[in-house]
Amino acid sequence: MSALLEVKNIYLSFGGIMAVAGVSFKVNKGEIFSIIGPNGAGKTSVLNVVTGIYKPKRGKILFEDTDITNLPVKKRAKLGLVRTFQNLELFKGMTVLDNLMLSRHIFMNYGLISSIFYFGKALKEEVKNREFVEDVIDFLDLSAVRKKYVFELSYGIQKRVELARALCLQPKLLMLDEPMAGMNTEETEDMARYIIDINEEMGITIILIEHDMNVVMDLSHRVVALDFGEKICEGKPEEVANDERVLSAYLGEEKWV
């Protein structure tokens, strides 16, 4: 297997806080790769660096063997680097459908004039992309809420909409930041099922950040554990679960169940 993403010795700090201190790992094509660690360990920060929201103080990010460390955020979606956010970041004033259609933004090439007349190329591309969006809606069982505004929906459904929005970008690497947080058992099981399907049926590589260890153990091919911004362990789920440093990092954390 070849590496799709390579994170090379990255450092990130906020004022005095070292959020990420020399983390390196590789994510292989086709795998579900999990990042675990106690609260404040730097998991989200690593994603923020990979997606370009923050620039690392040191280190490199390679995607498909190309250095993307300095690539602007807006260009990374086009490469296939797509994420969801820990705290929902949907477009609340748009319907579910429009949220998903927005994800097709980079696949539409018509300009202002075509848009003014809503004719020809604009109409054709709108319809073509709408078809793609409808497939994703079917896949994630969102047809009932298609025309609803996001702010009207329950938290669990909003999480699913965010996943749908990410899928509409046709990711090569899908990064999910705590997709099950705040969900009940049933919603969690659904989400796990979707993640497996996305990985197996669509062949999309996934980075998963998750606190629910049962989920991590069940889904992941490989796991990396962070603590205080540093990588403390990497390996197969069962190896990481029994690692001493991991156990002590989680000592007193009730989430370790």
Ligand X SMILES: Nc1ncnc2c1ncn2[C@@H]1O[C@H](COP(=O)(O)OP(=O)(O)OP(=O)(O)O)[C@@H](O)[C@H]1O
> Is residue 43 part of the contact set for ligand X (CB under 6 A)?
yes
Q: Is the dihedral of CA 184, 185, 186, 187 positive or negative?
A: positive
Select the residue interacting with another protein from 3, 71, 108, 247 (CB under 8 A): 108
Select the residue interacting with Mg ion from 69, 86, 114, 115 (CB under 5 A): 86
CA 8 to chain centre: 19
x-marked contacts with another protein along 20-59 as a string, rule CB under 8 A: -------------------------------x-x------
CB of 6: closest distance to another protein in angstroms? 21
CA 193 to chain centre: 16
Calpha distance 140→142 (Å, rounded): 6
20 SS3 class: strand
> Is residue 17 part of the contact set for ligand X (CB under 6 A)?
yes
Supply the DSSP string of 108-146, one letter for each residue.
Answer: ----HHHHHHT-THHHHHHHHHHHHHHHHHHHTT-GGGT
CB of 102: closest distance to ligand X in angstroms? 25
Binding site for another protein (CB under 8 A): 51, 53, 73-78, 82-83, 85, 89-94, 98, 101-103, 105-106, 108, 110, 112, 115-118, 122-123, 125-127, 130-131, 134, 165, 169
